Amino acid sequence: MKSALSPPNTLAKIVASSMMFAICGLAQAADRVTFQLDWLPGGDKAPIYVGLEQGFFAEQDLEVRISQGRGSTDAMTKLATGQADIGLSDITALMVARAEDQIPVKGVYSVFSQAPHAFYVREDSGITSVSDVEGKRIATSPFTSSNLFLPLLLELNGVDAESIELIQSDPGTLSPMLLNGRTDVVISWITDHQRYADNAQQAGVSLNVIPWHEAGLEAYATTLVASERFLEERPDVAERFIQAYEKSIAYTWENPTQAAEAVNAVVPEVEVDMAARTIEAIRSLVYNDASDTHGLGAFDPERLASTWQWTAEAQEMDPASLDPESVIDRNFVPEGS
């Protein structure tokens, strides 16, 4: 009578095969990466969601988790303390943090090679340039970094800062103030364009947007930043992540609606139409003369130096307190970008 049990040598082969399968499975497990947002999800944050939805990160054997953020300082703190690996921050905030505290975070890829600061005005205001805001009422949020650069912008365009009536108000009240005529100008970012446009349309008002970079304030802005520990201990993971992220950027601006749907699939409160129009409105922050000349994601030394010069002046810091080159690591920008 034959035994129902497997012969010893057969059983050993089964166990050995199972162990090899488990080992191979471990070897092929995706590398985990925690991505830190610098603010709430929206069209301007679409690439990270596109990378997940389109499988660009999976193609690089990466498992990416998104962590919510509350500003550039919060994002960099989480990176510096090991709560996240790579994420988004305004490079000016990174420069200040490096100058003051030598925070162990570096910029690795330029996302917005133009700064998003802007004036919003009613079309019937007669204000068509920065020089036209002299003697006007300007409303702003007390929390925006744009306030730091406003005096420099006014000086650059020959506007007497003393002639300005600066009104600080809650961000949610700025659009109604402009539409109701309680202010002549509002300071906001180009990323907010569609929200302002929708509010204006409902009120039967037309708006104009005056980007500050068109008035001479050209600088790098939103940047992929990573902890130095992540870059030193897992450089191959960082390189694969950035390759996938760059692919996600290209897809986002080639397919705004699909990119917006990718955000909405993860964050339902982000409306597809609003996100898609935001993506289209901010294209010039990503694709512009700087990215055409130096390459997408790249940091031009001269432009980087001028970005720090603007920042140092705005913060009343000694420009010699920081070498702007120490803020970035160019080793991870994909070749041919």
Number of domains observed in the structure of the chain = 2
Q: How far apart are CA 29 and CA 12, in angstroms?
A: 26
228 and 82 together in one domain: yes
Domain holding 86, by residue range, is 31-114+219-332
271 and 319 together in one domain: yes
Using pLDDT thresholds of 50, 70 and 90, give the confidence band for residue 127. Answer: very high
122 and 110 together in one domain: no
Residue 124 pLDDT: 96
For residue 68, is it within any domain?
Answer: yes
Using pLDDT thresholds of 50, 70 and 90, give the confidence band for residue 143. Answer: confident
323 and 182 together in one domain: no
For residue 6, is it within any domain?
Answer: no
Q: Name the domain boundary from 184, 200, 215.
A: 215
242 and 178 together in one domain: no
211 and 224 together in one domain: no
Residue 12 has pLDDT above 90, yes or no: no
**How much of the chain, in percent, has pLDDT values that exceed 90?**
85
For residue 289, is it within any domain?
Answer: yes
Residue 10 has pLDDT above 60, yes or no: no
236 and 288 together in one domain: yes
Residue 166 has pLDDT above 80, yes or no: yes
For residue 261, is it within any domain?
Answer: yes
- Identify the CATH number of the domain in which residue 246 sits: 3.40.190.10
Tens-place pLDDT, residues 291-314: 999 999 999 999 999 999 999 999
- Is residue 76 within 8 Å of 105, Cβ to Cβ? yes
What rounded mean pLDDT belongs to the chain? Answer: 91
Tens-place pLDDT, residues 32-75: 999 999 989 999 999 999 999 999 999 999 999 999 988 888 99
Query: Residue 28 to residues 25, 70, 212, 238, 242: CA-CA distances in angstroms?
Result: 5, 34, 48, 17, 20
Q: How far apart are CA 202 and CA 139, in angstroms?
A: 21
90 and 179 together in one domain: no
Q: By C-alpha distance, which of 46, 5, 29 is closest to 191?
A: 46
For residue 278, is it within any domain?
Answer: yes
Residue 14 pLDDT: 39
Q: Name the domain boundary from 170, 197, 215.
A: 215
Q: By C-alpha distance, which of 67, 30, 81 is closest to 230?
A: 81
- Is residue 164 within 8 Å of 134, Cβ to Cβ? yes
316 and 194 together in one domain: no
258 and 136 together in one domain: no
Residue 23 pLDDT: 46
